[in-house]
Structure 1
Amino acid sequence: MKPQTAARKLGIYLPATPEEFQNNAVTHVELKALLETPPEWLVELRRTGPHPRPVVAQKLGITITALKRNDMDKPLTTAEIKALLENQPEWLRTARTALAEGREEHAEETSDNEE
């Protein structure tokens, strides 16, 4: 598979990976090995970032759309994410609240449909 696909499956930001990873195809066996016994570079990248948009959005508790809407559609490190969570700007509080409310509504609709 292409390096971009492998990076997406690993939840990592491709430009932050070693050049060898970026320039070579990854087999399914290699991907499985990376998932089961990640090398130090992968462990460190997952721990400190930079993280791709989906991971940033998940760690912030918001949607990718909210990131884009607030010009935060870029890779962030774990430290940058932590700083945002500690000193939440208004847009982040609003986006977190909106996502939480949306999830509550969805859960209510799902439970209503099961009855």
Structure 2
Amino acid sequence: MKPETAAKKLGIYLPAAPTEFQEGPLTRDDFVELQANPPEWLAELRRTGPHPRTEVARKLGISNSGLARAEAPDVLTTAEIKALLEEMPEWLVTERATFAAVREEAALAAEKKAEKAAKAEKAAKAARN
């Protein structure tokens, strides 16, 4: 597995990883071992960062697009993320509200889809009997 893929799956910022991790491919067994028994450098990266865009967005409770719209840095440390959450700038409040609304809308759509599928199955079952 390429280092880029492994870093993405591990939720770490590749340039902050040790050189030996960045330069060589990982076997599946190596990757599973990293997940099961993370070395200190991996635990430290996960704990303090710097974190990649997807992790920054997740920790802030916004989407990747919201991070881009706000022109916020793609890479932040845990301390910088905590400072933003304490400060709660206007852009963050807006993006969190937008993200919550989108999630709520997606949940409603999934609920309607499930109801429609249940009705279709009920009708199909009635037609078979």
Instruction: Calculate the TM-score normalised by the size of structure 2.
Output: 0.86
SS at match of 1:31: helix
Q: Distance in 2 between matches of 1:26 and 1:9?
A: 12
- Comparing both chains, which one has the higher relative contact order based on Cα–Cα distances under 8 Å and sequence gaps of 6 or more? 1
Residue pair 1:64, 1:73 contacting (<8 A) in 2 also? no
| 1:17-96 alignment runs, 5 A limit | 17-96=17-96
Are the aligned partners of 1:7 and 1:14 in contact in 2 as well (CA < 8 Å)?
yes
Aligned partners of 1:17 and 1:6: how far apart in 2? 11
Q: Percent identity?
A: 57
Listed one character per residue, the Cα deviations across residues 12-37 of structure 1 (whole Å, up to 9, x for unaligned) are: 00000011111111111100000000
How far off its partner does 1:90 sit? 0.6
Q: Segments of 4+ in structure 1 off by > 6 A?
A: none
Determine the structure 2 residue equivalent to 1:99: 99
Give the drift of 1:107. 1.2
8 Å Cα contact 1:53/1:74 also seen in 2: yes
Structure 1 unaligned runs (5+)? Answer: none
**RMSD between superposed Cα atoms in Å:** 0.9
Structure showing greater radius of gyration is 2
**1:5 Cα offset (Å):** 0.9
| Distance across 1 between alignment mates of 2:113 and 2:74 | 38
SS at match of 1:71: coil
| Matches of 1:90 and 1:108, distance apart in 2 | 27
Alignment: residue pair count: 115
Query: Which residue does the alignment assign to 2:114?
Result: 114
Q: Is the 8 A contact 1:50 1:78 kept in 2?
A: yes
Give 1:81 shift: 0.4
| TM-superposed deviation, 1:2 | 1.2
